[in-house]
Amino acid sequence: MTEEKEKIKSVGTHNGRFHADDVMATAVLKLHFPIKVVRTRDLEVLKELDIVYDVGDGEFDHHSIEKEYRENGVPYAACGLIWRRFGREIVDDRYPDLSDEQAMAIFQHIDLSIIQGIDAIDNGMRTVISLVPVMNIPTLISGFNPPWDTVITDTDPYFHKAVDVAYTVLDNALQEQASAAKAKALVSQAYAGRVRPEVLVLDQSYPWSVVLNEIDTKKEVLFVIYPRDGEYLIQTVRGSGGTFGNRKSLPKAWAGLRELELGEIIGIEDAVFCHPARFIAGARSYESIMKMADIAVNEPVETIKKGFLYNLKRMAFRKNISVRQ
């Protein structure tokens, strides 16, 4: 870290009720600098600070009539403006061994997967509606505000608790993406060296899903095998983006079985389990997991009943929601 970055930055945002926008922007700055946060709307105080955001009509305040928009139409909020300015520097500083292409991919992924959703909601955009309610980052952070029926004038302690959570979310996401970037070459190498087209065997539990969907353009790989915690696992391959639906599920006869009961069906002595949803199973030896892979590959393809997917799509249509198969 340079001397400039080691210097404590005085940063400022508005006081009172907080949102994911100003909270996550603070977390981004905290990743990059040692910071002292001042929460106020006093313009005389704000003009003395190093960085001001979400207030004050400056570079990182998005409340003007002329908003800035991304190419995809999502407007910037303070969080996005801060990430646009400092995000790539953060990636480069934390992971200097990554290539320029890898670093840019991480920078863009964080913007797409975390920052844009916060910016969109803060600007009043309607985001995806799900069939099942799912808590998102803005909802989670909003919950750190004091309840309306409490007499609390100083919200700063609550704000800083929310920043700590946002920091952890962002830090974890960066680590995950950096790890995936480093694993890409290893997964690609294993893919090129497959003995059987339908089975990808890894020597470690790499993050493989995204890479595989990029390189396996013919969708040949049905199952992935890797060691974990002293066992070997076989996992199904799902569609791109992690959508539901396996390219091929594990045999129906294995569903929900464990240990001896599962081993008797397969013909091995060290079976561990098969998940009831048939997307993952395990054994204690490499030989056994490879036998499970052979059986799974050779298992006749099931006739898929359209009932569940059909009804799900009908429900989605009624709610004006797009469901991908």
Mean pLDDT computed over every residue of the chain: 89
With the CA atoms of 112, 115, 116 and 120 taken in that order, what torsion angle do they form, in degrees rounded to the nearest 10? 160
Residue 221 has pLDDT above 90, yes or no: yes
Q: How far is CA 249 from each of CA 235, 243, 289, rounded to the nearest angstrom?
A: 9, 14, 15
297-304 mean pLDDT: 82
Residue 41 has pLDDT above 70, yes or no: yes
Confidence (pLDDT) at 307: 52
Confidence (pLDDT) at 132: 82
**DSSP label of 157:** H
Confidence (pLDDT) at 243: 52
Confidence (pLDDT) at 131: 78
pLDDT tier, 314 (very low <50, low <70, confident <90, very high otherwise): low
Does the global pTM surpass 0.85? Answer: no
Task: Write out pLDDT tens, residues 79-117.
Answer: 999 999 999 999 999 999 999 999 999 999 999 999 999
137-158 mean pLDDT: 91
DSSP-derived 3-state class of residue 94? helix
